[in-house]
């Protein structure tokens, strides 16, 4: 959080015209991310404990890329609405536990995993991480709609990456 804020402040201090696009909980069929980790763990374990008291909006990287491209196209066409800071994220808030449940439901339905593991809800206090995470990191969508950009539909994105891309677990 602090380094991201420092980066934003550096951009706003150095540039008169800028677009800063904030996002959160990014996932895709590539690289290492929560979705791929959950798929891998579902294949390795019968039971998983996942944090249930932290909320955010999962964001599909493919949708984020399209949003960035759309803003760039508007700039190229001289149709910029306003410079500044914007938020782009998934359309429906959920907890990590809720996200995991949706991942397992879709993955099982589409044959990516054979069986859903038992999912145990735990608190943030029960899952220690090097960096403290906020309990509520749901971003309020800001006016990217004026650029023709809509929120990421993360449930549909799960269908896409499991059905069309055959998401492989992270290694």
pTM: 0.90
Pinpoint the alpha helices (H) of the chain. Answer: 2-14, 34-44, 61-76, 96-109, 154-159
In the prediction, which pLDDT does 7 show? 94
In the prediction, which pLDDT does 169 show? 60
Please say whether the beta carbons of 50 and 97 come within 8 A. yes
What tokens appear for 1 in the block? 């959080």
Query: Which secondary-structure segment (H or E) carries 47?
Result: strand 47-51
Please say whether the beta carbons of 25 and 57 come within 8 A. yes
71-101 burial, b if ≥16 CB within 10 A, otherwise e? beebeeeeeeeeeeebbbbbbebbbbbbbbb
Give residue-wise pLDDT tens across range 76-103: 888 777 888 999 999 999 999 999 999 9
What tokens appear for 99 in the block? 């996200």
Please say whether the beta carbons of 144 and 67 come within 8 A. yes
In the prediction, which pLDDT does 123 show? 94
In the prediction, which pLDDT does 164 show? 75
Distance between CA atoms of 14 and 16, rounded to whole angstroms? 7
Distance between CA atoms of 147 and 128, rounded to whole angstroms? 40
Distance between CA atoms of 138 and 114, rounded to whole angstroms? 32
For the chain, list residues with pLDDT below 70: 130-131, 142, 165-171
* All domains in the chain, ordered by first residue: 21-164 (3.40.50.720)
């Amino acid at each position: 959080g602090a380094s991201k804020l420092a980066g934003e402040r550096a951009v706003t201090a150095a540039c008169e015209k800028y677009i800063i696009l904030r996002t959160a909980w990014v996932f895709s069929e590539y690289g290492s991310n929560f979705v791929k980790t959950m798929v891998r763990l579902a294949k390795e374990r019968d039971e998983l404990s996942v944090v249930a008291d932290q909320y955010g909006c999962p964001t599909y990287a493919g949708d984020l890329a399209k949003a960035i491209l759309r803003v760039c196209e508007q700039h190229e066409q001289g149709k910029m609405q306003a410079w500044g800071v914007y938020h782009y994220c998934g359309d429906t808030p959920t907890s990590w536990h809720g996200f995991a449940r949706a991942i397992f439901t879709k993955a099982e339905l589409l044959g990516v995993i054979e069986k859903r593991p038992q999912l145990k809800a735990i608190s943030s206090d029960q899952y220690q991480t090097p960096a403290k995470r906020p309990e509520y990191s749901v971003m309020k969508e800001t006016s990217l709609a004026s650029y023709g950009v809509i929120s990421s539909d993360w449930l549909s994105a799960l269908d896409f990456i499991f059905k069309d891309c055959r998401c492989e677990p992270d290694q």
